[in-house]
C-alpha cells in the first residue's frame, strides 16, 4: 500500500515555486507548477490533485477566487493558502472560503511539507472504516489496531504515529514533519526530537512483538520511512 501525492503549486514567484517543487519532490511528491489564475483553472480540470497550494496574489486574479471556483466545481482537493499577507481577516476569509490551511510567507519548506501531509492524510482516509497495510488493520474511529486480526494496545501518540506512517508509506519523513504532525501545539519542535525517537522505538517494539514485519526504517541524516 503506497500513496503517491500529486500537488498543484499556484504561485507566480517562479523562484519560490521552483524551491517548493524541488523540496517536495525529494519526498516523492509529484509537483505541477502553474503561475497564473487561468492556467490553474485549466489544470484543475485536466488532472486530479491531492492538494493545491495557492498564493492569494496572482497576476491575473485572486487565489481566494480560485478557491471559490474549485469549491463551486466540486473539485475534491485539499487546499493550502500561502500568502505574504498575515492579517486575521485574510486568514479567516481564506479558511471560510474553503481552504484547509493558511501559511504566511516566509515559511520553512519543511513546515509546508508537513502541512501538506496533514491535510492530504485527513482527506485520504475520510469515509473509510479501516486503513490496511498488509497484516496491519487500523480503525481511525475506534482508534484500534489489529495485526493478523489480533488487537494491539497502543498509546494515543503511538496510534497517531502509525497512522501517519501508513498514510505516507514508502516516503521519507523528516523529523520536523513528524514533530509537526504529532505535536502541533508545541511551538518548539526541536524539543520533540527525543520524543520522536522514543515513540518510534516503542511503536516498532509493539508491532514486531505482535507479529508484524519491521517496517520502520531510519534513513540516515534524513528521517524515517515506513515500508517494505
Listed by start position, the domains of the chain span 5-125, 131-226
pLDDT at 102 over 50: yes
> Mean of the pLDDT values across residues 57-70?
93
> Mean of the pLDDT values across residues 190-212?
86
pLDDT at 122 over 80: no
**Distance, CA of 148 to CA of 142 (rounded, Å):** 18
Q: What is the pLDDT of residue 187?
A: 43
- Of the listed ranges 55-69, 85-99, 141-155, 195-209, the least confidently predicted one is 85-99
pLDDT band, residue 2 (cuts 50/70/90): very low
Distances (CA, A) of 176 to 3, 56, 78, 109, 223: 20, 26, 21, 10, 9
| Residues making up the chain, counted from first to last | 228
**8-state DSSP, 192:** G
Domain 131-226 class in CATH? mainly alpha
Q: Mean pLDDT for the chain?
A: 85
Higher pLDDT, 38 or 93: 38
For 125, the grid coordinates are: 482516509
Higher pLDDT, 227 or 193: 227
pLDDT at 27 over 60: yes
Find where cell 486568514 sits: 91
Question: Do 54 and 10 form a contact (C-beta atoms < 8 A)?
Answer: yes
> Mean of the pLDDT values across residues 157-184?
81
pLDDT at 191 over 70: no
For 133, the grid coordinates are: 497495510
Nearest CA to 182 out of 203, 205, 207, 206 is that of 203
**Distance, CA of 99 to CA of 76 (rounded, Å):** 12
Distances (CA, A) of 146 to 20, 125, 143, 149, 217: 37, 17, 10, 5, 21
Q: What is the pLDDT of residue 190?
A: 53
- Of the listed ranges 18-32, 68-82, 190-204, the least confidently predicted one is 190-204
Do 131-226 and 5-125 fall under one CATH topology? no
Which architecture does CATH list for 5-125? 3-Layer(aba) Sandwich (3.40)
pLDDT at 3 over 50: no
Amino acid at each position: 500500500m503506497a500513496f503517491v501525492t500529486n500537488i498543484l503549486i499556484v504561485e507566480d514567484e517562479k523562484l519560490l515555486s521552483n524551491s517548493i517543487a524541488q523540496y517536495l519532490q525529494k519526498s516523492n511528491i509529484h509537483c505541477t507548477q502553474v503561475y497564473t489564475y487561468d492556467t490553474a483553472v485549466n489544470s484543475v480540470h485536466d488532472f486530479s490533485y491531492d492538494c493545491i497550494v495557492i498564493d492569494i496574489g496572482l497576476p491575473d486574479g485572486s487565489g481566494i477566487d480560485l478557491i471559490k471556483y474549485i469549491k463551486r466545481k466540486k473539485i475534491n482537493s485539499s487546499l493550502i493558502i500561502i500568502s505574504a499577507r498575515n492579517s486575521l481577516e485574510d486568514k479567516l476569509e481564506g479558511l471560510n472560503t474553503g481552504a484547509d490551511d493558511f501559511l504566511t510567507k516566509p515559511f520553512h519548506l519543511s513546515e509546508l511539507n508537513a502541512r501538506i501531509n496533514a491535510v492530504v492524510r485527513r482527506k485520504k482516509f475520510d469515509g473509510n472504516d479501516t486503513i490496511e497495510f498488509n497484516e496491519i488493520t487500523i480503525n481511525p474511529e475506534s482508534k484500534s489496531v489489529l495485526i493478523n486480526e489480533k488487537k494491539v494496545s497502543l498509546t494515543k501518540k503511538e496510534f497517531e504515529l502509525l497512522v501517519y506512517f501508513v498514510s505516507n508509506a514508502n516516503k521519507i519523513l523528516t523529523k520536523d514533519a513528524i514533530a509537526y504532525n504529532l505535536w502541533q501545539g508545541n511551538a518548539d519542535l526541536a524539543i520533540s526530537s527525543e520524543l520522536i525517537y522514543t515513540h518510534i522505538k516503542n511503536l516498532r517494539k509493539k508491532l514486531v512483538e505482535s507479529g508484524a514485519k519491521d517496517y520502520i526504517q531510519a534513513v540516515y541524516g534524513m528521517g524515517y520511512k515506513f515500508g517494505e
